[in-house]
Structure 1
């Protein structure tokens, strides 16, 4: 009775505030006053139920829009403001109770590795060739880590994981349905895919990547949902996402899906370390051979034959022949990147600075029709970009995080007996493998369609590892 009366009083007060703001806005002709009640309500909710914003953030990711301001600064709306809000809330939580940082999650090896990663970003921002660009990069990285790594560790449980994927899954299925309807009207044409994914996705690669990395998560949710119409819904949702990924015409995601399935099998068979060792040997040997006596120059494209293709089958054929413009433009930038690493191998050029400096390091024989790069895109390989911008130590830190994650995923999966947590660890590992594969040909950890899930995946594994070790004791 008292609770109901108290609620009535609060609702009455909010209603009065709403009316007063409305009249004031009309009288002063200041529309911004209209949003004051909403801001107060949002602030109250942030203090009382901040987990709501965490789940909301995942639901907003498929619908976020990239906005570039006249001064050149860019942001993702509405996701980036919510990330900043969650980062602020996390800081307030720590200030209110510093003991939170003594929780095992915040002392986990993955947390320490991310701390090293962030420390090196700060250091290379100080030594950066363009400090302002690096500062913006460092700030954005900070709230990605706080919102998706720290908050996931703070809230994690099996039920919270399911709730997160439900919010994400429902929003993503709605966004994908919207894209598919528009694409169907265009006859599912390859040359129209970039048009139909806007404004929620920059291009078909962003769209296909988000769909690809979400497939194992939605499939895992379906597996953990009791039999009935809800499980059927998520199974059909998984199949729908696979279809959408195929129709995104994103070659990297096709490879990532297959590598993810193979990676899951490798994890199940306890062969992660063997595969990583073999992979490192092959990668080092290949890079060494390309650099030895400048063998890479043999792969310079034919400028007149390296063009844009408007049929997907022609694109695949051109890719195999080294005549696809997007692939060869990547090579053009990779060659520049290798020269940049040679110039500044320790601290790099500073986070976010590849575009600002790469053109003076290019090799003209690799130039293509799109090498002017008016859209100011990056190097299109996150591993190489990290080495260019943060030096070889920065790249090694990032690789060590990835390798440690894969090894720990295998160890944790085989240590667990409980079905739900085993499933979460497995699909989480497959999701990260999808991302790591996509990053070979793209630099997307700083985009809100991929980056959040990288840190979310790291946090999920660390949280499961901590919780299960605690239960074992």
Structure 2
């Protein structure tokens, strides 16, 4: 009898739901067709959070800014990824109130502590901001990125099977975006650089953000292809095809910053594989910085003589990287950096407030630094740096917290690689470390961690390294391992 009653209710509710859907379709209210998908997400959010998070990962490359549909809105969200992340944040807070704290080793891991300090200082500088509402919204958006992609992601990455699932669930939709971009570029010609700048819209803002993400995942595919020995032939061919596709997409993205960051990250990969001591790398970097500082006048004079502007010719486009005299993109980037430093000089401790750079930098521009693409209206981007942006917005402590997170992430990656118990762990860690290194370098020239496209893979890469560190690497603390490397 109970079974018959349940069957009755199932068919009754299903029929009612179907009739309701048909009525809405008849009156051309089509958004109601999304209701089953919404109900599915709510079910996953409460009963299968791991699948729910991996679904967010899958939708991230395919998400579209809300302003694409409603241009009049004063705020923007990436749909559906950010809306799902907000839901995930509320569920995590609810679960935390019921179950208490998460794993102690994770909470007191050096990288977790560094990220917590980074968030705390961002909150403090938001409260003292020149534009508190802007800064608090900026802080909240960063908080939901990190809560989902780092703190929760660690829980699912303790199951090693979820690591390749995460990587593939980002790369598969990214492949669709690449094909979409190539299709758009083909309409205008693959060598049309101007068309390439926006061919990936609405999925990515521009070619630089698109290139940065490609540069992060190319080392992952390279690791699967060249480092992983046990792979079926068919799988190897698929990975090989994607590896070539991602490299081709990067080339035709015309993102010079992405090209440079991947090339330098490959150099770091070689140094790691050769087991060059970390202290030697740091010493070499200090010597290079010292030489640059000593001969900076000569170097700048050489750069100023470079008149090559960005071009459809790959050789000319590469050589234009060093043109700080006539290339508008390079000159505007330097203009933004100088503004960030002047803003820092004005408010060195607490800064102007997270997320306020674009609204505050205009008065700090000097006439001789302005370019044809300069603006006073706060409608064209930010400080073009993951380092100088926080310096201007959150003061010296904000800059140091960002630098601390990046350095610790690199050191932990080295530790996992050098102290891994199993070969797959060392191979995975060096691939992730190379991808992260490309972003650390790219961060000198652009900043994208305020977007879901970059934040989810970036913070998830860090969560994977911590999961590997706590569960699959031997003893020693991070500083001992680096000293031994």
Q: Give TM-score scaled by structure 1 length.
A: 0.88
Measure how far apart 1:267 and its partner are.
2.5
The question of 1:336 aligning with 2:335 is answered no
| Residue of structure 2 equivalent to 1:372 | 375
| Residue of structure 1 equivalent to 2:480 | none
The CA distance in 2 between the partners of 1:102 and 1:202, in whole Å, is: 37
Judge conservation of contact 1:59–1:171 (CA < 8 Å) in 2. yes
Measure how far apart 1:67 and its partner are.
3.2
SS at match of 1:158: coil
The question of 1:271 aligning with 2:277 is answered yes
Measure how far apart 1:88 and its partner are.
2.1
CA 445–27 in structure 1, closer or farther in 2 if over 3 Å, else same: closer
The CA distance in 1 between the partners of 2:151 and 2:162, in whole Å, is: 14
The equivalences for 1:15-414 within 5 A come to 15-22=14-21, 25=24, 35-68=34-67, 69-99=71-101, 101-156=102-157, 157-189=159-191, 190-222=193-225, 223-224=227-228, 226-268=231-273, 269-279=275-285, 282-283=288-289, 313-322=315-324, 323-372=326-375, 375-414=379-418
Higher mean alpha-carbon deviation, 261-270 vs 460-469, is at 261-270
| Residues 106-162 of structure 1, C-alpha deviations (whole Å, 9 max, x = no match) | 221111110000000000001101101101100000011011001211101321101
| Residues 345-392 of structure 1, C-alpha deviations (whole Å, 9 max, x = no match) | 111110001111111112211111111266331111110111000111
Judge conservation of contact 2:309–2:323 (CA < 8 Å) in 1. no
| Residues 197-238 of structure 1, C-alpha deviations (whole Å, 9 max, x = no match) | 212121111111111111122333445462221222012211
Q: How many residues align structurally?
A: 464
Higher mean alpha-carbon deviation, 224-233 vs 319-328, is at 224-233
The CA distance in 2 between the partners of 1:168 and 1:8, in whole Å, is: 39
Give the gaps of 5 or more residues in structure 1.
Answer: none
CA 243–469 in structure 1, closer or farther in 2 if over 3 Å, else same: closer
The CA distance in 1 between the partners of 2:166 and 2:278, in whole Å, is: 28
RMSD: 3.2
Judge conservation of contact 1:24–1:33 (CA < 8 Å) in 2. no
- Structure (1 or 2) with the greater helix fraction: 1
| Residues 422-449 of structure 1, C-alpha deviations (whole Å, 9 max, x = no match) | 1111111111101111111001111222
Judge conservation of contact 2:303–2:322 (CA < 8 Å) in 1. no
The question of 1:430 aligning with 2:434 is answered yes
Higher mean alpha-carbon deviation, 211-220 vs 463-472, is at 463-472
Judge conservation of contact 1:382–1:442 (CA < 8 Å) in 2. yes
The CA distance in 2 between the partners of 1:466 and 1:9, in whole Å, is: 50
The CA distance in 2 between the partners of 1:250 and 1:264, in whole Å, is: 21
Higher mean alpha-carbon deviation, 430-439 vs 319-328, is at 319-328
| Residues 252-308 of structure 1, C-alpha deviations (whole Å, 9 max, x = no match) | 111111111111222231423332354356558857997xxx999989989xx8987
SS at match of 2:443: helix
SS at match of 2:198: helix
CA 67–24 in structure 1, closer or farther in 2 if over 3 Å, else same: closer
Measure how far apart 1:10 and its partner are.
8.2
Give the gaps of 5 or more residues in structure 2.
Answer: 477-485
Judge conservation of contact 1:191–1:311 (CA < 8 Å) in 2. no
Measure how far apart 1:9 and its partner are.
7.3
CA 30–315 in structure 1, closer or farther in 2 if over 3 Å, else same: closer
CA 289–384 in structure 1, closer or farther in 2 if over 3 Å, else same: farther
Measure how far apart 1:319 and its partner are.
4.0
Higher mean alpha-carbon deviation, 29-38 vs 159-168, is at 29-38
| Residues 158-206 of structure 1, C-alpha deviations (whole Å, 9 max, x = no match) | 2110111121121111221221232233220222202322121211111
The CA distance in 2 between the partners of 1:217 and 1:373, in whole Å, is: 40
